[in-house]
Chain A
Amino acid sequence: MIIDRFRYYFRKKDLLLVFIRKDLKSRYAGSYLGIFWSVLNPLLMLLTFTFVFSVILKIEFHAQQGILNYALYVFCGMLPWLAIQESISRSTSSLIENASLVKQAHFPASILPTHLAIAGVINEFFGLLVLIIAVAVSSYHLSPHLLLLPLVILLQIIFTLGLCWFLAALNVFFRDTVPFLNVGMMIWMFVTPIFYPSSTYPPKLEFLLVFNPLAHLVDIYRELILNNHWPQTASLAGLALMSVAVCGAGYFLFSRSQPRFNDLI
């Protein structure tokens, strides 16, 4: 069962850590700044957003829509999206790229997508750090609402894990998953209110928000970090429900198809 899977990871946390550490290290392997890039990257992104949106485009949103600084607003939405997108697209090909490991008996193949899902979130922490400091500096006061963030990130991990397992297994049978995913990710990004507030959605299409876990996730991030609000319970419940469902589906497909991997990779 899925609980056993998590228990296994807990028992083998050292193995999982070897993979995660290696992955985080390898991102900037050979560069002079090394791990600093993890902070520098989101910082430069935020500066670029600020320059483009506030200096060039001079975008102004109404305060009642909850946007006080558009650059921060977009940045806050981008962070979870980038983490999820990166984890998913790397996980999808992870089994095939690591055929030599998957083919070994007893190798827990699920560790490949799993460590990528977790590494993606860890990498996001640096961006969150930049964001929270920027929010504090631009005189928004930091609130106790941030204390709910770990729970939200936990849900995000559960959701990402499910998607990563699902797509990694699917790609073994169906190598067209990668190109499909590239298009799908682009559509998903624009359907999700990352660059615009969810209140601008036409009422007819609101189901796209309700059934999009990422839309809930982005909203909750903004409520907690930018707006000092508790998120709507419905939003939180929806996210939790969908995350668990996705995780279950991913686990199901992965564990069902795992015995076949060796013949197919």
Chain B
Amino acid sequence: MTAIRVSQLSKSYKLYSKPYHRLLDFLWPGKGTYSTVIQALKNIDLEVEEGQTLAVVGDNGAGKTTFLKLLSGSVIPTSGVLKIKGTVAGILDLGVGFHPGFNAWENLRMSCSIHNVEERKIPEKIGQIIEFAELSPEILNRPISTYSAGMLMRLAFAASINVDADILVIDEILAVGDQYFQRKCIEKIKQIVRSRKTVVIASHSLHLVKNLCEKAVWFEAGMIKAFGPAGPVIDSYIEKINSRERTMLSASAETPVAEKPKLTGFVEGTGEARIQKVTIRDRHGNETSRFRTGDPMIVEVEFEAFKPVTSPIFGVAIHRKDGIYCCGPNTMYDGYTTGVFTGRHVFAIRYEQVPLLAGDYFFSVAIYDREHVYPFDWHNQLYQFSVTTDCRGDGLVHIPHAWTIDEKKIG
């Protein structure tokens, strides 16, 4: 059964230069042009089956949120068909649907009533919501205008998953909330997905939604760039982001060191030797930035020494996108003795098996003096690559392992 059917759906917003133009336009539509039209979504076609999970990805302003708002019914389409089977609950803007002056109880009472929860089931529902949100009774009695974003998020999320809507619409689930609650939300969403409910999630946490969703739609400038199985769609979106980042970085490499903008990383060093080019290759020697857990990986660094440098130390480090330092071997630690270098040279490091789990990572590359005191050149967290995985599990790395479970009692 089709849960969501959208065809030729468009949404535009009108901007008026004078407030009364809005009234005129409303009273005599089509008479004169009073407004500038902003096209947020243009001719969208897609279908979501009942029980499917749809990831919505794309850059900011591409139309993700407008699409979700259309699904939830909080904005109406300008043209096109939007057919939705069943009721929709969603977390879109934080705090939307809550009255700032009401306390949590009153707001939940209202949410339940709006979502047509049966009158006699409301106390039970509110109990479930409160239990999930894990807010203290003292907080629940305060008007929600006094809540922090995180507290509001807890309440909003708990409410929207508990009102028993047929379709759940979630915009950027991980934007707020502490890590504990984020994890709890993700677990809950996984559970909802397993229960064959229709779920639509817009997120910039691409690896997360890729694992979570069956299908994905990629919006670009108000139109669908790709729609289909989540894996390929999100991979091509990730590739697009990476290539754009590479262009940005290579553009910044032209500028003098002192003026280099500090993007994700930075460049620093005394300059006796300079890193010219860093290439990440796969097992076949092809340049790539996408790996799977367990793949071999080669990082090749071209550098130029402007005067003879003796026994420099070469290092390559890996950071996860959120700043976690994964590893950082260098030639000194590994007991290599390097020679004297002038002019252009290449060094490379080969990882036989990348143990990293899915996520985005950065390479840092450095050339240090022989005492490991100051860098000649240091590109800190400048080269991005991503890892996808077949291994299930949380954490940073996959360590090959085996289990033994003894059925005999001890003692």
Q: Using a CB–CB distance below 8 Å, which chain A residues touch chain B?
A: 12, 14-15, 18, 22, 26, 98, 100-101, 103-108, 173-176, 257, 259-260, 262-264
Contacts and interface: CB of A to CB of B under 8 A. Distances in A.
B228 interface: no
15 contacts: A12-B113, A14-B119, A18-B102, A18-B110, A22-B102, A101-B96, A101-B97, A103-B93, A104-B96, A105-B73, A105-B74, A106-B114, A107-B97, A107-B114, A259-B76
Interface string B26-45: 10000000000000000000
Interface stretch (B12-20, B56-64, B330-338, B378-386): B12-20
Contact of A18 (B19, B23, B97, B109): B109
B106 interface: yes
Among all A-B residue pairs, the 4 with the closest Cβ atoms:
A105-B73, A104-B97, A15-B113, A105-B74
B115 interface: yes
Contact of A174 (B20, B72, B115, B119): B20
B346 interface: no
Given A14-B113, A175-B19, A101 B99 contact: yes
A262 B23 contact: no
B115 A18 contact: no
Of A15, A98, A173, chain B has the most CB atoms within 10 Å of the CB of A173
Contacts of A259: 76
Contacts of B229: none
Contacts of A107: 97, 114
Interface string B386-402: 00000000000000000
B95 interface: yes
B26 A105 contact: no
A173 B114 CA distance: 25
Contacts of B19: 174-176
A103 B96 contact: yes
Nearest to B25: A173
Contact of B74 (A15, A103, A173, A176): A103
Contacts of A264: 22
Given A18-B102, A100-B96, A101-B97, 20 more contacts: A15-B109, A15-B114, A22-B101, A22-B106, A26-B101, A101-B98, A103-B97, A104-B97, A105-B72, A105-B90, A106-B73, A106-B114, A106-B115, A107-B97, A108-B114, A174-B20, A174-B22, A259-B76, A260-B26, A263-B75
Contact of B26 (A22, A26, A173): A173
Interface in B62-94: 72-76, 88, 90, 93
Contact of B97 (A12, A14, A100, A173): A100
B100 interface: yes
A26 B26 CA distance: 36
Interface in B107-129: 109-110, 113-115, 119
B143 to A, nearest CB: 9
Contacts of B97: 100-101, 103-104, 107
Nearest to B74: A105
B116 to A, nearest CB: 8
Contacts of A26: 101
A106 B113 CA distance: 10
Interface in B308-348: none
A26 B95 CA distance: 20
A90 B108 CA distance: 24
Nearest to A106: B114
Contacts of B76: 259, 262
Nearest to A107: B114
A18 B14 CA distance: 35
Nearest to B99: A101
B110 A15 contact: yes
Contacts of B14: 263
Contacts of A174: 19-20, 22-23
A18 B72 CA distance: 24
Contact of B114 (A103, A104, A257): A104
Contacts of A22: 99, 101-102, 106
B178 to A, nearest CB: 23
Interface string B279-322: 00000000000000000000000000000000000000000000
Contacts of A15: 109-110, 113-114
A126 to B, nearest CB: 22
B200 to A, nearest CB: 14
Contacts of B93: 100, 103
Nearest to B116: A106
Contacts of B98: 100-101
A26 B100 CA distance: 13
A18 B97 CA distance: 15
